[in-house]
Structure formats: C-alpha cells, structure tokens
Structure 1
Amino acid sequence: MNLPLIIRAEEHSEKIAIVTTDGSFTYRDLLYTSSQIATSLLQNAKDLQEKRVAFLIPPGFEYVATQWGIWRAGGIAVPLCVSHPRPELEYVITNSGASIIVAHPNFESILRSLAEEHNLRFILTSETLPSNVAPLPEVDITRRALILYTSGTTGKPKGVVTTHQNIQAQVTSLNTAWEWTSSDRILHILPLHHIHGIINVLTCALWAGAECHLLSKFDTETVWRRICDGDLTLFMAVPTIYVKLITAWENASKERQKTMSEGCAKMRLMVSGSAALPVQVLEKWQSISGHFLLERYGMTEIGMALSNPLHGERLAGYVGKPLPKVEVRLVDEKGLVSAGTPGEIQVKGPGVFLEYWQNPEATAKAFQDGWFCTGDTAVVENENYRILGRMSVDIIKTGGYKVSALEIEEVLRSHPDIQECAVVGVADIEWGERVCAALVLLQGSKPLTLESFRSWAKERLAVYKVPTQILIVEELPRNAMGKVTKPTVVELFRA
C-alpha cells in the first residue's frame, strides 16, 4: 500500500502541482521523478528502513521530488536550511545520524567536504537519475517521516520527529478548517526547513491536488508582481513579510497601488503565523488588501493547534479556537485554569509529534499526562485564545523563527574578545523581537564594532540568530543568586 499522499497525487496526475521559474510540473512529473530519486537512494536495497537522508536544495521542483523520493524509499527526510553556515549544517547532519546527503550543486563545496569527513554517501541533484524505476517499498503511515530542528530552552536545537500519520493528521485538519480544494493556487515564499513552509503550504497544497507556486527566495517585488497577476487564491506569510509588502505598497504609484490591492482582493484567504501579528500591521494590511488576516497558532512539535475561523468573525490579537481533531487546554501549577486566567497551552491530538530524536529525557519532560506542554502562555477571552508569550525568556521569536538565547550565548562566548554575554529579544514592530546582545569584553581587548562582530557571528550562526544590536557593558545585571536578570538587560536596550 502506498502512502495516502502518493495515492492522492495519482488521482491528480495530469494537474499542475508545482510552478517555478523553470516551468510547470504536473503531479505525474512529481510522481515519476520522486520514484527515480527513490530508486537512486535505495541503490538495490529493498527499503531504506528509516535511514536519515539530509538534503539541501533551494525551493523548487527538485526540493519536492527529493522529499517525496526519500519518503517513497522508506527514509526519513531531514531538510537543511539554505542560509545556515557550516557548523549548523554539520550539527543537524551528525545529530540526526544521516547516512546520505543530497545537495544542489550550489551547496556542493560546503557539503561534499562534510560528507567526506563523516564518511557519508553524497549525491548531487545534477546527477543523472536511473531510467528504470525499482519496485518501491510499502511504507506504513506509522513510520517516522521527517526530522525538523527547533530551538529549545536547553540551547542546542532538538530534532522533532513526525510520522507520516502525524503529517497526515496535521494536513487534513488544515484542509478541513481552511477548505482547501484542487482549484487552489498558493504562492510559496516560506523557508522549507520549517513546519510552516513544509506542512501548512507545500503539503496542504499537494494533499488537495492544488497548485503550489514556489519562489526560490523571498523578494518583495516578485511577490507583488505575482499577486497582481490575480490568479492566486491563497497566501501565507509571517508578520515580517507583511511589513515588507506594506512598505512596498506605500512606495508604489497610485495606479500601481490600485492593481496591487485588486490582486489581493481576488484571493479567498490570507494567513499570518509563526509570530504574533501586531494589530497595526493587521489593520494596515486590511486597508490595503481588504483581507482581515487569519491568525493561527502552532509549533514544530504539534503542527497547528488554534485558528481563527475561515468564515465568521476573526478577532485582532487572538488566535481563535482549536482546529479539527485538536484538543487544547490551559494549565497552571494548580491545574486547569478557568476562562480569563492565564495558563500554559497544552495540546493533544493525532498531529502531535512522536519524539525528540534520540532524546528520551527531553521527550518525557515535554509531556504531562499525555498532553504536550508548549511552553507558551495564553488566556481564553470571549471563547478565543490570546497568546501572552513564552514561559521562558530564553526563547526569542524573530521574523517567524524561534531561536534559543542560550545557544547564541554559547557561540558568542567563544569569541576571543568576549568574556560574558546575555542575549535577549527586544520588541520590534517588523521582526516581532530583535536579537540583541549585551557583552562584557575581556580586559585589554580592542574595541568591538557591530560590523566586525556580526561578520564573525555569521560564520557560526544562522543569519536570523545573529544579534542586530550589541551593547558593551562593564558588567551584566544579576540577582541575589548571581543569575543574569534578562528583563533588566532588555531595559538597557530600550534606554
């Protein structure tokens, strides 16, 4: 028996699945190319049996065909981030225990050497695919399918493992709630190593037999041009992107603004997620596009849990109610809380992840009586959930990414001139929070400029984790226990 995603694709074989700058590809193209890739990965074996395959490919048809090829060969897909520097890529590859790396030629120089160092099989997407397709294994939906890395409060990212069944539950819940159909066309501009881009956009579209138009990278002008074409039905982005689109609209001529607004009006749904949407951004976008953005709430471990309604009233600053087949509760140290009282969001349902990769302690700690503890605080008002923030000051939400302050601090301490540091998130209208670092320099070290500091950090951290502001201080503020008081550090930046 094939995976339901594959069976559904066979029903849509002549329809267009993926559109890129290279052209249009049908579901049949996707099925055929992914079976060739699966054959190549298997190398005469019958089944990859959950071997991890790490892949680094820019958004496009090859990315999707590779992801499907890994699944169809019985492997676990480990997508890598195109903007990550070598140390971060190496961490994911070694932590996941990947035995195969698939890379686009653009990334050959960085990944071939890693493959050689760790004695892994290395495949380039430019290599010729086999013309004879091997019989592919039967993959049960309870098998592990995907490992995505997410920042936790303990520093280094953890591998979140989802099964084919988890993915199917996440996708069918959203397909039901947002009424996806095979006539939908969505513009995909989100990163493809992140649940938002992989599940909410790509897999939901392909499950529905819809068209997914993939941009190789986000570009404001290109996005507006595509919206103005007037053929899209859905759009999903993070608040940072809406801020950039608003700026471009404000800088356009009156005539162009009219076309831009008309393009938005032709869509049936526009969604914002991955970070809190400032009410003024929501209101400005509504005046431009006529759309009251649908806000929802989810995370890597659970998929999406809460959503404002497709039909009916959406409330600014709220993330709505539980999605189909998802149970949500709010809990404090005394137990369940009543409406109007803040509590931690806990989630249960078939979309909740299986485990943290090879980390049974962290997995056990993340659950309470079978409920996943999100670490986010919320309150229910007018029967709708309002997110109050993270329970931990060490998690920063910036531009739709969740980053660990502790992980960044660990890297910064390895700088030759830095003695101590404290990394915090400072509220920002465009990014949600900006990553900022207060630094204590070693005595006698030369002055540190933001520019030299950032270029040093970019070689070691993903660009969205690199602090955008630094403050050189004599000492860090601490409490009686000697623990750095992060709220005081935030105040230093605000001042």
Structure 2
Amino acid sequence: MESASPQLSQLSLISRARSFGERTALLAPEGTFTYNDLLRESGITATALLTGRDDLAGERICYLVPPGWEYTVVQWGIWRAGGLGVPLAISHPEAELAWVLEDAQPEAVIVHPSLAERLQDLTRDRQIPLLMTPALLRDAPTAELPAVEETRPALMLYTSGTTGKPKGVVLTHANLSAQVEALSDAWAWNEDDHILLHLPLHHVHGIVNVLTSALWNGATCEILPRFRAVDVWERLARCEVTLYMAVPTVYRRLIDQWYLVNSEAREAWRQGAQACRLMVSGSAALPVPTLESWEEITGHRLLERYGMTEIGMGLSNPLEGERRSGFVGGPLPGVEARLVSEDGIEVPEGSAGTIQIRGPGVFKEYWHRTKETAEAFTSDGWFRTGDRAVVEDGAWRILGRNSVDILKTGGEKISSLEIEDILRSHPAVTDCAVVGVPDPEWGDRVCAAVVLRTGEVTSKEALRNFVKERLAPYKVPKDVLVLSELPRNAMGKVTKPAVLDLFSAENTE
C-alpha cells in the first residue's frame, strides 16, 4: 500500500498529490480515477521499473502510450523511480521513432499493446527491452521508492532545430515545477478547475500547460482519446469544463463546425463555452479573424501566450485586463525576458529584437549536445530563443523567427532541413527547398519545390507519400512544385524568399 512517508519522494508534484486524496484527478477513456489511485498505480509502476534497484538514476525510459490514464501512470511511475521520461509521439512513423531510440539510448521502452507492433522490430534490432503496460500496471506491492531531488532530469522532449534532426530538450523536475507555478499564479488555477485535454502528449503544451498544471493544483483533467470538433463542443455543452486550451487550427475547426449545426445546437454549445472561466490559444500565432469569430460565438476573448519547448511558457496576456489582438502580453511570474539586437545589446521599447529568456523554468540542456547547449545561452545565462518581437505600449508582439528553416504549422515546430533531407533521398530528386507559405489556418503551409534528375519522372503525390512514410504527418508538404532549377543568389545559395514567391504566384494564377 502507498505510504504517506515523505521519504518516498521529495518531488513537490507527488507530495501535493497526497493532499488531494480522493478528489477526481482524471476522467479518461479507461474510467474515472482519484489522486490516491494515481499515487498507488504509479508506485506499482515505479517498483516494476526498478526491478530490485534502489534508483533508476536518470536512466531514459521511452513510452508510447495513448492519451489517458495509463499514459499518466507510466509518466509518474518513471519519475518516481528516478528515471528520465521520453514520451514518443503516436502520430510518428517508424523512421522518426527510430531516431529517438537511437539518440536517447533508453534503458527500456514502455508500450501499450495496441501500439506494440510499431516498436517490436525497432526495439529488437537495438536490443532494448519492450515493456507492456498491462504487466507494469498489474496489482502488486509497492517497494520503498527513491528520494528524487527536484534538480534531477524529469522529461526529454524532442524539438526541431536548425540542424535538421530533432534534438532532445532535457527538463528537470525543478524546471517543470517553475513552469507550472508560473501558470498557476498567472491563470489562477485552483482545485475546482476542470480542463479538457486533447492536445498531443509529447509536447509542453499538453504535458505541462494542461495535464501537469491540473494535477499540480488538485484539479480534474478530462482526457479525450483524440480531437473531434463535435466531441469537444458536446463536452463543453455540459457546462462542467472551466478551462480550455488549444492551438489556432483547432479553434478554426471548432468555428467551422459551429456553423454546420442548427440553431438549437449552437445555443447549447455557446452556453457551454461561456461556462468556462478561461480559454487559451498558443503554439502558433492566432489569426485575428479566428480571435474575432471565437469571441463573437462564445463571448470569450482568447488568451494568447508565447512559449517553446526549451522554456515552457514565457509570455502571456493577462487573466484580467486588456488582451490585444496580435500581442502575447508580458513576462509570466518568475520569468525574465528581454529583446536584443544582433550584437546582443538590449533594445528600447518600440524597436524590434530577438527574444532572450532567463528563469527557473528554462531547460537544463540539449541531450548529448554540449556545443549546441553552450551556443544557446549567453555568458550570463539568457536563453537565445531565435524568435523576434517588439514591445509596444508594454505588450509584446511576436514578429517571427530568425531562421527561415524553422516553420510553425498547426502548432507544430518543424525543420525544413529535415524534410529536405528526406526528399533528397528520393531516387528521382536531385535538389529541393522546403518553405512555409503563410496560411490563415495552419500558420505555415509546408510546401516543397523540387528539381528532378535528368530523365526522371514522378508525381507530386508520389513525393508526398515518400515523405509520409518517413516523417510525421504534419511534416508532409501540402503542395509540391517541380522546377527545372531552384532560385539562387550570386554565391549559389538557394534563396528561400524567392521560392516562397513561386508558390504565391502559383496560387494567384
């Protein structure tokens, strides 16, 4: 049985959960579960992972588990055993999963039986133990668990960078606690909150902003197995949800769905949305038409914020007060933010600069990338985000990224270089350039211009399918343009703004 001894863990998240006892923690596809249930089951999982050892001591444990109760238990079990959790994306194809396994070098991989087939060959070839969730979660005694310090690594999330291949961002328990405390303060989380979750659980947005923030505060997190606009509206219509967070693309789809139903359903949906105390949009810029349409339908002016994997959330519009369209407010509690010139000199209000962030929520390191980690920080500890912004009348407005090779589509940050590498491996392709064409729904619409080898013939759909087999769905180009040559400057470098112009010209013809 679960002991109340503080020696079982020094993690704030766990000690707080003990005080919430029989309150409902999760409403999941598997059922309804209390905080005591979560503590008991995660203790059993932690014991199974330890296999007689005292402490996992930071060993990486990857997990591919659908959103729900078992996902949460596995994540907490890894943390309580002293491990570093590495969530795998259920939307990713074999090639992307293989990359994470190669890079993370995990001690073991945990998988739900419904997804086991996707990992069996990958783990067998690498001689990595594959653990099934039913075996880990079966009823068994709980051993004494290690005292896990807040300074230890907790979570490794993979994010795209300018080098192409995704890299592991290592966050400590202290980082996660700082991020959650900042959001709890700024957005007034409390134990009576009830939040709906359908965001992917391999990103900060879903893991930290929603799931962990709810469980930190003794609130209820209701997890949907997937996003369907009708399901979200019907769930909101019960007037039980107090908080809702999504990306701009999701809000756009909810708006589109609202216009497809009759007036009776619209009114029920509207009242359900109005019962929420706060609705948040993030992970991509919120188009003004979406902001205005949502406010017209629900009465809610969406709270827009700014963050990234390495920092969690850095800036936020106020819970109370003016939320200006196109702006993301100011620094969250405990977060320092500044804008600097190319020379690293802080710029005054009204001048554009690159965002730098400092604070306890900023990540520890890029996994096994000492040089990249060092280059990401200034000598006095400021993290270089690579995003540009300007402060106008005290509010921050995001201008975009310094790198043309980083795209944001549907809330996902991706590297054009990674997609280009895949396209160039196609036998018919000699060169290519991937760009993000501005799109009101997606933010950046991923598009690829390709040059075929002499005498080779292939279709645009064949090229898209080639990428789809190797990369996540959101990385697949939505449009492909075949060219005789790519536009280049005098030095021979591809000029991506000119490639963008080609797609813009095609769309106006």
Quick one: which of 254, 270, 289 aligns to 1:280?
289
Residue 36 of structure 1 is matched in structure 2 by: 44
**Aligned equivalents of 1:240 and 1:376: distance in 2?**
21
CA distance in 2, matches of 1:120, 1:108: 13
Q: Which residue of 2 aligns with 1:181?
A: 190
State the distance in 1 between where 2:452 and 2:78 align.
47
Q: Select which of 389, 393, 402 maps to 1:378.
A: 389
In the TM superposition, what is the alpha-carbon distance from 1:130 to its structure 2 partner? Answer: 5.0
**What is the aligned counterpart of 1:117 among 125, 128, 143?**
125
Structure 2 CA distance, aligned partners of 1:74 and 1:405? Answer: 36
SS for the counterpart of 2:165 is strand
1:262 aligns with 2:271: yes
Contact 2:341–2:354, Cα closer than 8 Å, also in 1: yes
Q: Aligned match of 1:83 in 91, 101, 106?
A: 91
Contact 1:40–1:129 under 8 Å retained in 2: no
Distance 2:468 2:75 in 1: 28
Paired residue type of 2:110? V
Q: Which amino acid aligns with 2:45?
A: I
Superimposed CA distance per residue, residues 265-324 of structure 1 (whole angstroms, 9 cap, x where no aligned partner)? 000000000000001110000001100000000000001000000001111100000000
Q: Where does 1:407-422 land on structure 2 (aligned, <5 Å)?
A: 407-422=418-433
Match of 2:3? none
SS of 2:21 mapped into structure 1: coil
Answer yes or no: is 1:427 the counterpart of 2:435.
no
Aligned to 1:439: 450
Paired with 1:179 and 1:244, the residues of 2 have a C-alpha distance of 28
- Residue 449 of structure 1 and its aligned partner are, at CA, apart by 3.0
Q: Map 1:65-144; keep pairs closer than 5 Å.
A: 65-127=73-135, 129=138, 131-144=140-153
Deviation, structure 1 residue 248 = 0.1
Verify: 1:329 aligned to 2:356, yes or no: no
C-alpha distance in structure 2 between counterparts of 1:342 and 1:73, whole Å: 46
Residue matched to 2:401? 390
The aligned amino acid for 1:354 is: K
**Distance in 1 of aligned mates of 2:34 and 2:120:** 31
Paired residue for 1:8, among 6, 16, 19?
16
Q: Give the gaps of 5 or more residues in structure 2.
A: 1-6
CA distance in structure 2 between the partners assigned to 1:291 and 1:161 by the alignment:
35
The match for 2:232 is 223
Partner Cα distance (1:221, 1:105) in 2:
28
Q: 1:107-152 CA distances to partner (integer Å, 9 max, x unpaired)?
A: 1112122111111111011226351111111000000111000000
Query: When the two structures are superposed, what TM-score results if normalisation uses the length of structure 1?
Result: 0.99
Q: Deviations over 1:216-238 (max 9, x none)?
A: 11111111110111110000000
- Confirm whether residue 479 of structure 1 aligns to residue 489 of structure 2: yes
Amino acid at match of 1:9: A
Per-residue deviation at 1:93? 1.4
Q: Is 1:246 aligned to residue 255 of structure 2?
A: yes
Provide the rounded CA distance (Å) in 1 between the counterparts of 2:352 and 2:310. 22
CA–CA distance in 1 between the matches of 2:285 and 2:253? 16
> How big is the shift at 1:454?
2.0
Runs of 4+ that moved beyond 4 A:
none
Check conservation: 1:39, 1:130, Cα contact below 8 A.
no
| Counterpart Cα distance in 2 of 1:380 and 1:418 | 44
- Which of 160, 176, 182 is equivalent to 1:151? 160
Residue 21 of structure 1 and its aligned partner are, at CA, apart by 2.7
Q: Is the 8 A contact 1:40 1:130 kept in 2?
A: no
Listed one character per residue, the Cα deviations across residues 17-41 of structure 1 (whole Å, up to 9, x for unaligned) are 0101332111111111101110111
Alpha-carbon distance between aligned partners in 1 of 2:172 and 2:361, rounded to the nearest angstrom: 9
Secondary structure, counterpart of 1:336 in structure 2: coil
How far, CA to CA, are the matches of 2:398 and 2:303 in structure 1? 15
For 2:146 and 2:12, the matched residues in 1 are separated by 14
CA offsets 1:435-472 (integer angstroms, 9 cap, x no match): 0000101111123132x222221110000001010000
CA distance in 2 between counterparts of 1:201 and 1:489 reads 38
Cα contact 2:29–2:69 (8 A) shared by 1 = no
Cα distance in 2 for residues equivalent to 1:169 and 1:338: 28
Aligned to 2:354: 344
State the partner residue of 1:295: 304
8 Å CA contact 1:15, 1:209 repeated in 2: yes
Q: Which residue of 1 aligns with 2:4?
A: none
Match of 2:199 among 147, 167, 190: 190
In the alignment, the residues of structure 1 paired with residue 496 and residue 96 of structure 2 have an alpha-carbon distance, to the nearest angstrom, of: 26
Unaligned runs of 5+ in 1: none
- Amino acid corresponding to residue 281 of structure 1 in structure 2: T
Residues 50, 74 of structure 1: 8 Å contact kept: yes
2:36 is the counterpart of 1:25: no
Q: Whole-Å Cα distance in 2 between the matches of residues 199 and 447 of structure 1?
A: 43
Counterpart in the other structure of 2:367: 357
Q: Deviations over 1:203-256 (max 9, x none)?
A: 000000000000111111111110111110000000000000000001111111
Q: Distance in 2 between matches of 1:71 and 1:371?
A: 28
Q: Which amino acid aligns with 2:170?
A: V
Distance 1:355 1:20 in 2: 33
Select 1:209's aligned residue among 213, 218, 235. Answer: 218
1:426 match: secondary structure: strand
Q: Structure 2 CA distance, aligned partners of 1:474 and 1:455?
A: 22
Query: Deviation at 1:333?
Result: 2.2
* Alignment RMSD (CA, Å): 0.8
Q: 1:62 — aligned with what? A: 70
Q: Residues 324-349 of structure 1, C-alpha deviation per residue, up to 9 Å, x if partnerless?
A: 00000000124110011000000000
Superposed displacement of residue 106, structure 1 = 1.5
Count of residue pairs the alignment pairs up: 494
Distance 1:99 1:111 in 2: 14
